[in-house]
């Protein structure tokens, strides 16, 4: 295991210190927590957006803290849900009285712990609503989830919920916008190599030199099948087909595309995938209005990528175009 | 070799297509070239900034095209200098009559080909100036270079030269600002794993499971020594020491820091390095004014990172803070 770390037990704490030092004008660390919040939180008169989850998916989620996106991100240990007492700290710190909206990826631990924090917050008189993101079309249940997993599409939820809140949307309106994103967003990923959790010391699965895992999760959870590695266009075609034939009717629609790197895949390769996605969607009469290529939701140093399509309407396009000023997301 | 590519011969062309499709409002591809330019080039009344070099370092250089940074980026084949006829196309396309400034990383091929293009452009009556970036303190000469190599510090040159040009600076003033950056910027990198050029099919060097290469170049050129892998703080200390004891007097100065990932290193690890760099500089009375953590100048899927320090003064700080709106760099 080759990692640029000190003691594996301190990885998350040291990472959060390094982040806070990197973005001192944008974020601050709530003392004695693994929570980063907007420097100026709570923002008066605005619904606050809180997300988080296990670490190892950077820049998710702390990289999305900023104007027009998140007010707080709660970091768990590597690939491990944050505890309710961490989540409640985030909620308390960012609530301005307008309520707090939780963006939760659909993993059993995250859903349980965020919902427990929600109940604690509500008992304190804070209004809280939530959405559970489940964009991954690959598998119905997995080792980490009941139902579909939340993966890179979560970043679209951050953007849209954040923009709606920044525009003065009420807690109910933010929730409606976020639910629209979840209902219209589908993703699927592929891995060419595994990754290693610092504390574990060995990779979370094994792939032969000529194999890839199709439908992989962002924690290395198994996908739908293991195949021989194929040309980029064939891999992209396979993922795109599964996304397109899922329950969202993308026919003749407008979409935002995200080609997300899982950690070790060069940006050049992500652009090659993007080229194929665009040409295929054009062929199908689907109009791409926005494109995002890069590392948005990673899985440590895993090689591979995911493709996300979000069907957009006028409201979503406007919210996607609205200002965002987070370290890892600018508009 | 596991790569998300089609035919290795088409990697650069397909990547450029994918980039152009990703950023249709920001860049366009000059027909029949490997040149991307600002969508609105030539920008009237402004000195144009052109950079480029071998591909495989994405987001460098096309990711830095945009307001306040580059007007054009010329892509060579993987780790191979672009030819003079490609560079001259870029120069012609972006010159608005105010002249063109070339930012060249110090590799023998790049310097030769950019200078040849410069002579051709001057023969056509275009004013051209240039700077050669050589921030890498690791080795004096290498397989790719006479003199020091240009690595991640190049991104600071893009930013400062671009900001100076956007502020209405003359060709001479842009050159002076860029030279100030080059004179005050030092970097050093380390690799934990090699990378594989698509056409080559095998890694460009070998490292044992417990080894790292200190002072690595961004094409896998050998560094100063091969060592047993060490804790993050020890690796960061080794690089930082070499950077600090080089010819720039950083004592009690103000600096901008860049912790740059080479491709496969998780962002969490880069933040752990950043934490150490900040604490060490504070200890030495060096004040960090700006911090950049992420993948700015990569080496395909190489694992590892580099540390860059740029000594800043009031002018450089102001230019660093000026607006920039490139896909891979926002202020």
Provide DSSP, A31-96. Answer: TTSSEEEETTPSPTTS-EEEEEEEESSTTTTGGGBSBTSBSEEEEEEETSPPPHHHHHHHHHHH--
Residue B239: CA atoms inside 13 Å, Cβ hemisphere, count? Answer: 33
pLDDT digits over A255-293, tens only? 999 999 999 999 999 999 999 999 999 999 999 999 999
* Closest residue in chain B to residue A265, using alpha carbons only: B301
Residue-level pLDDT at A1? 67
Q: Name chain A contacts of B263, Cβ cutoff 8 Å.
A: 264, 266
Interchain contact, A278 vs B11, CB within 8 Å: no
Closest CA–CA distance from residue A278 to any residue of chain B (Å): 7
DSSP A217: -
Question: Is the Cβ of B232 closer than 8 Å to some Cβ of chain A?
Answer: yes
Q: Which residues of A touch B231 (CB under 8 A)?
A: 5-7
B287-294 and B254-261: which strand pairing? parallel
Q: Tens-digit pLDDT profile for chain B (331 aa)?
A: 699 999 999 999 999 999 999 999 999 999 999 999 999 999 999 999 999 999 999 999 999 999 999 999 999 999 999 999 999 999 999 999 999 999 999 999 999 999 999 999 999 999 999 999 999 999 887 777 778 999 999 999 999 999 999 999 999 999 999 999 999 999 999 999 999 999 888 898 899 999 999 999 999 888 889 999 999 999 999 999 999 999 999 999 999 999 999 999 999 999 999 999 999 999 999 999 999 999 999 999 999 999 999 999 999 999 999 999 999 999 9
| Partners of residue A63 in chain B, C-beta under 8 Å | 267
Chain-centroid distance of CA A212 in Å reads 22
First to last CA, chain A: 37
B26 touches chain A (CB under 8 A): no
Both tokens assigned to A95: 């609530």
CB contact (8 A) between residue B268 and residue A11:
yes
Task: Give every residue of chain A whose pLDDT is below 70, as ranges.
Answer: 1
CA-closest candidate to residue B67, choices B167, B154, B153: B167
- Which of A226, A268, A273, A303 would you mutate first to test chain B, the one with the most B CBs within 10 A? A268
Question: What's domain B185-321's superfamily in CATH?
Answer: Dihydroxyacetone kinase; domain 2 (3.30.1180.20)
Asked if B235's CB is within 8 angstroms of A272's CB, the reply is no
How many Cβ pairs within 8 Å bridge chains A and B?
Answer: 175
Pair of tokens at residue A135 = 């964009």
Domain positions in chain A are 8-183, 185-321
Phi, psi angle pair for A74, to nearest 5°: -105, 125
Query: What is the number of other CB atoms lying within 10 angstroms of the CB of residue B2?
Result: 19
A295: contact with B, CB 8 A cutoff: yes
Query: Is B260 touching A (CB cutoff 8 A)?
Result: no
Active-site hit among B57, B61, B158, B290? B57
Quote the CATH superfamily of domain B8-183: Dihydroxyacetone kinase; domain 1 (3.40.50.10440)
Question: CA geometry: angle at B87 spanning B86 and B92, to 5°?
Answer: 100
Phi, psi dihedral angles at A306 (to 5 degrees): -130, 155
Q: Give the per-residue pLDDT at B263.
A: 97
What whole-number distance in Å separates Cα of residue B45 and Cα of residue B26? 19
| CB atoms A266 and B232 under 8 Å | no
Say if the Cβ atoms of A268 and B58 lie within 8 Å: yes
Among B8, B18, B273, the strongest candidate for a mutation testing the A interface, having the largest count of A CBs within 10 A, is B18
Q: Which residues in chain B have Cβ-Cβ distances shorter than 8 Å to A18?
A: 270-275, 278, 293
Tens digit of each residue's pLDDT (9 = 90 or more) over A151-203 = 999 999 999 999 999 999 999 999 999 999 999 999 999 999 999 999 888 89
Compute the distance between CA of residue A83 and CA of residue A74 in angstroms, rounded to an integer. Answer: 9
Q: Does B18 touch chain A (CB under 8 A)?
A: yes
pTM recorded for the entire structure: 0.97
Q: Which positions 171-230 of A are in contact with B (Cβ < 8 Å)?
A: 192-193, 209-210, 212, 229
């Amino acid at each position: 295991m080759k990692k640029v770390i000190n003691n594996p037990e301190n990885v998350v704490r040291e990472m959060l210190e390094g982040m806070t030092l990197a973005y001192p004008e944008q974020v601050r660390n709530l003392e004695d927590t693994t929570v980063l919040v907007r420097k100026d939180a709570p923002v008066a008169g605005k619904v606050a957006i809180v997300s988080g989850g296990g670490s190892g998916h950077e820049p998710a989620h702390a990289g999305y803290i900023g104007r027009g996106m998140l007010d707080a991100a709660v970091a768990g240990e590597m690939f491990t849900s944050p505890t309710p007492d961490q989540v409640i700290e985030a909620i308390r710190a960012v609530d301005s009285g307008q309520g707090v909206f939780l963006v939760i990826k659909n993993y059993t631990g995250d859903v349980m712990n965020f919902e427990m924090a929600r109940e604690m917050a509500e008992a304190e008189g804070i209004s809280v609503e939530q959405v559970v993101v489940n964009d991954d079309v690959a598998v119905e249940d997995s080792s980490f989830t009941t139902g579909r997993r939340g993966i890179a599409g979560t970043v679209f939820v951050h953007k849209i919920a954040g923009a709606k809140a920044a525009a003065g949307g009420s807690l109910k309106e933010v929730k409606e916008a976020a639910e629209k994103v979840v209902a219209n967003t589908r993703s699927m990923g592929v891995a060419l190599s595994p990754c290693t959790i610092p504390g574990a010391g060995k990779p979370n699965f094994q792939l032969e030199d000529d194999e890839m895992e199709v439908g992989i999760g962002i924690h290395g959870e198994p996908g739908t099948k293991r195949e021989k590695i194929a040309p980029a266009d064939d891999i992209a075609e396979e993922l795109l087909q599964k996304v397109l034939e899922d329950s969202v009717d993308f026919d003749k629609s407008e979409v935002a595309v995200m080609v997300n790197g899982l950690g070790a895949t060069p940006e050049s390769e992500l652009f090659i995938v993007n080229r194929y996605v665009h040409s295929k969607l054009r062929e199908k009469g689907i109009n791409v209005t926005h494109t995002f290529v890069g590392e948005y939701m990673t899985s440590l140093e895993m090689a591979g990528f995911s493709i996300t399509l979000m069907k957009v309407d006028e409201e979503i396009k406007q919210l996607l175009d609205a200002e965002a000023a987070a370290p890892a997301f600018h508009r």
